[in-house]
Amino acid sequence: MTPSKHNPFYDGWAWRHKRRYILQRDKYLCQRCLRSGVLTPATLVHHIKPLEDHPEYSLDDKNLVSLCNTCHEQVHVRATGHYRVKEAKAPPGVRVIKA
């Protein structure tokens, strides 16, 4: 799977403000873990209906949920069948040769 391109929407004031509001609304707890009775800090706000497919719901409170990183990855794996791959950085002084 190729890494997805960064969407400039996430750099905007509206998203930063909405993200903070949703985390506060959810008391900074992962809502997926909470359903299982586990208290886990939420670090991400997830679009239930993907932003790419439903931009009209980009800032809709009902389409946003606070999640921990683990749950966020699991939700994406279930939806796509793939983990999102993050390119690893080489340690300082190490030269990487790509084939």
Q: Please, which residues bridge with residue 45 across strands? A: 66
Q: Which of 82, 80, 47, 79 is nearest to 62 (CA)?
A: 47
- Residue with more model confidence, 57 or 1: 57
Number of domains the chain contains:
1
Assess if residue 50 is contained within a domain.
Answer: yes
Assess if residue 29 is contained within a domain.
Answer: yes
DSSP 40: -
pTM above 0.85, yes or no: no
Q: State the residue range of the domain holding 61.
A: 11-80
Assess if residue 91 is contained within a domain.
Answer: no
Phi, psi at residue 72, to the nearest 5°?
Answer: -60, -45
* pLDDT tens-digit map of 32-52: 999 999 999 999 999 999 999
Q: Which of 74, 73, 69, 65 is nearest to 31 (CA)?
A: 65
